[in-house]
Chains A and B, each alone.
Chain A
Amino acid sequence: MSREPSVDERISAWLLEEAPDQLPARVLAATFERTRAKRQGRPLLGWTSVSMFRTTTALFAAGAATVLIVVAANLLPRANPSIAGPSPTAGASSSASPPAVVGPSATPKAEVSTSPVAQSLKLTWSKVALDGHSPTVAWLGDRFVLVDRQSGGVRTSPDGASWHLLQPGDPDPGYAELLRGSFATWQNDVIGWWNPEDGPDYTNKPPVTARDILRIVRPSAAPTVTTPFKGRIGSIGIGPAGIVAFVASHVDFDAWVASKLGANWVSHYTGVDFDGVTLRIGMDNGPGLKVVWADEGFEPGDYLYTGFGWYSPDGEQWTAIPPDLPPSPDGGAKFAAGFGGDVVGVSDGFIARGDTPEDTCPLSGGCGEMWHSADGVIWRNLGKPAGDSSDGSVLLPWMGGALVTDGVGRFDFWTSQGHTELPMAAEVRTALKQPTPGIPNGIGTGPLGLVRVLKDDKAIFVTRDGIDWDIQPMTAAMAADQTSFYGTPDVVVGDRSVLVVLWSGTSEAPIPSLWRGTLEP
């Protein structure tokens, strides 16, 4: 007796049947006509030819004197961070405007400073014994926390060298839950989120997925809060102004229509239109339906592709960010949080990279424009991220502002006042640029600075302040531990040292290893 094929098998069979067999010969002919007339790009330089390259303060002064970011690592007191940001009109290299200094709750003010005395950026690496195969590492306030997601074991360390296995009775704000899924931090505040449905089987879900669970540790607002959220979270920013969450919940409209009207109606609905309160479902065989969204237990963010966000001062009371804000006065795009967008807390509010409602997110990652909000609810357009592609790009909190990288070598520092490109020598960037964007690489920011691990180049970028950079090769032993094509290094930056989780093995059986980098005296 033959078995009924599963849905997955039916989808696979259909795709196989739908796929064309052969690329027309004329396409290859036209392609080769072009390639024969086109020269190849230059091969990459090996990292050895640029190893230990460093943009010294002197070089910076001579060649990039107009770059505006001037930050000293020792100007980063944890309790009251003071960071230097770009001029409101700052370009990457062509403005004489002084930098703005942004305080945690004050309007940024202009201030001229000089580069700090250069300090060693050379990291010395050593391997750290690792228990378990599912490590999550974070820098939380004043310590590294290492959680093994399989065993639930928690270790803490002030420096990444000496570790304490958490015992019953030890102070524990719920590290295992905080780091169970995704998390965001601001100084001593931590917010973690995960979904109880997350697991290997992600295809048999009800129309509305289970709500994410939030766990929030804010020392000034103890006790720890654990609460269901209003949907599935795409990104969270936490800072002195509170918490902003972008949601990316998905309602399966086919399944939902089927549950309300019967399965046969699924093929007759022609589309949905959502205005923030009601949902209108068009039908090709009769009048449509008008549904009051909240009556069905849905949250606004459950509607895909409009994007949605929430603001909370404390993680308990949440205010909806109005979707589809009118165009900003400077003619910028409308803001849509949510799908494809991400957000970080900064010293004077939040900086987000949000999609625009008219656009679909490109296949390969982030999209949209940069935005700032002082209160988490009203957002102001800051402009587009530099570069023509955001593939592989990441948005990170750093020095009270936000850092955007293009996934390779470019780093743009954003504040409420605008942005500027961190000085990186063009030849270094070119030499280390990988074949295509979209290859994730490890990056981490923290009190010590910024560390980026390029797994294909086997190189490590280090900077304390965005001005002086050091590029060093991985040691041979480190390179041997980062052989997995699909494993992205996890980089966690503390105040005195850096931890990096490298990956070898296969995608089915990844093997992690933990490395600790410390600054040479």
Chain B
Amino acid sequence: MQREIVDAARRGDHEAFEVLASAAGDRLYAIATLILRDRQRAEDAVQEALVNAWRELPRLRDPDRFDAWLRRLVVNACADEGRYQRRWSTEVRMMRSEPTTEDGASALADRDQLERGFSRLKPEQRTVVVLHFYVGLAVPEIAETLGIPAGTVKSRLHYATASLRAALEADARGAIPTNEHTITTKEHTA
């Protein structure tokens, strides 16, 4: 069914394209928001990706690849957003809702730690985390989406995951540190 709609959109059918875009919009917005950590810029990225999709759709050779192709466009649009910004802000925090799970306190702690760890990641690391853990892509699929070697994907994923793990473990270990630390072999900066 989707293939027929994609075919129609490729031939210039606006309504068909709008059906496709409407169906994909929420998913693309989620990906862009997670990568960019900013809903306004995510909206811009999704809009750019969809406009590009409309313009380039006749060049899409295989309609069955539409979803993967659209995902690639939105990731590229996020990269463009990052370039315009020069550096991606690490200070921007997401709006949070109250926990809804039974184990609300634990989830909240996870959230705080993960949010802190995630906001420290570089945008390219966030991208692989989102594509792997949210979209569910395997390493070769991420490599194909981003146009980078699989080894680079692994490397970014490893670093990002280790950072997030460390953030979670830091929370699990408990006590709040004092202002005195125990390293004696290192010189304090002024």
Contact = CB atoms under 8 A, between A and B. Distances in A.
Interface of A: 7-8, 10-24, 27-28, 30-32, 34-36, 38-44, 182, 198, 202-203, 205, 207, 209, 232, 234, 248, 250, 252-255, 258, 260-268, 280, 285-292, 304-305, 360-365, 391-392, 407, 433-440, 456-457, 485-486, 488, 507-508
Given A40-B12, A40-B55, A456 B17 contact: no
Contacts of B166: 252, 254-255, 258, 263, 266
Contact of B58 (A41, A253, A265): A41
A305 B170 contact: no
Given A43-B58, A285-B179, A363-B123, A250 B159 contact: yes
Q: What's the dominant secondary structure at chain B's contact region?
A: helix
B51 A254 contact: no
Given A10-B114, A360-B88, A232 B159 contact: no
B133 A41 contact: no
A23 B27 CA distance: 8
Contacts of B30: 19-21
B146 interface: yes
Contacts of B25: 23, 27-28
Contacts, number: 272
23 contacts: A7-B164, A23-B25, A27-B25, A28-B18, A36-B14, A42-B58, A43-B58, A203-B161, A205-B162, A254-B162, A261-B181, A264-B177, A285-B177, A288-B189, A290-B188, A360-B87, A362-B79, A364-B75, A364-B79, A407-B147, A485-B144, A507-B140, A508-B138
Contacts of B158: 202-203, 205, 209, 250
A34 B28 CA distance: 18
Nearest to B25: A23
Contact of B76 (A41, A268, A434, A436): A436
The listed residue with most B CB atoms (<10 A of its CB), out of A22, A36, A41, A234, is A41
B61 A456 contact: yes
A47 to B, nearest CB: 11
Contacts of A14: 110-111, 114-115
B93 to A, nearest CB: 11
A18 B129 CA distance: 13
Interface of B: 10, 12, 14, 17-18, 21-22, 25-26, 28-31, 33-34, 39, 43, 46-47, 50-52, 54-62, 65, 68-69, 72-73, 75-76, 78-79, 82-83, 87-88, 94, 107, 110-111, 113-117, 120, 122-124, 127, 129-130, 133-134, 138-141, 143-148, 151-152, 154-155, 157-159, 161-177, 179-183, 186-190
Contact of B186 (A44, A290, A407): A290
B117 A254 contact: yes
A7 B171 CA distance: 13
B114 A364 contact: no
A288 B61 contact: no
A258 B170 contact: yes
A261 B182 CA distance: 7
B133 to A, nearest CB: 5
Given A31-B21, A363-B79, A11 B56 contact: no
Q: Determine which residue in B31, B52, B115, B181 has the highest number of CB atoms from chain A within 10 A of its CB, and name it.
A: B181
B26 to A, nearest CB: 5
Contacts of A36: 14
Given A31-B47, A254-B162, A435-B69, 13 more contacts: A8-B161, A23-B28, A23-B29, A32-B18, A38-B54, A253-B163, A255-B163, A266-B170, A289-B183, A292-B186, A304-B159, A363-B124, A456-B62
Nearest to B154: A202
A362 B78 CA distance: 10
A203 B110 CA distance: 19
Given A364-B146, A364-B148, A40 B58 contact: yes
Given A17-B111, A22-B29, A361-B124, A27 B47 contact: yes
Contacts of A11: 114, 129, 133, 161, 164
Greatest chain B CB density within 10 A among A14, A21, A207 is at: A14
B175 A264 contact: yes
A287 B162 CA distance: 26
B68 A485 contact: yes
Contacts of A262: 173, 177, 181-182
Given A30-B47, A360-B124, A267 B55 contact: no
A38 B51 contact: yes
Given A40-B57, A360-B87, A28 B21 contact: yes
Contacts of B29: 20, 22-23, 27
Contact of A365 (B55, B117, B148, B176): B148
A341 to B, nearest CB: 12
A149 to B, nearest CB: 14
Nearest to B99: A17
Nearest to A207: B162
A8 B161 CA distance: 8
Given A7-B168, A290-B186, A265 B181 contact: yes
A266 B167 contact: yes
B14 A439 contact: no
B162 to A, nearest CB: 4
B141 A265 contact: no
Contact of A35 (B17, B107, B148): B17
A442 B31 CA distance: 29
Nearest to A259: B166
A264 B176 contact: yes
Contacts of A28: 18, 21-22, 25
A291 B170 CA distance: 21
Nearest to A456: B61
A266 B170 CA distance: 6
Nearest to A197: B158
Contacts of B75: 363-364
B190 to A, nearest CB: 8
B155 A250 contact: yes
Given A31-B47, A507-B140, A15 B130 contact: yes
B110 A35 contact: no
A209 B157 CA distance: 13
Interface centre among B52, B147, B177 (most CB of A within 10 A): B147
A231 B43 CA distance: 40
Contacts of A360: 82, 87-88, 122-124
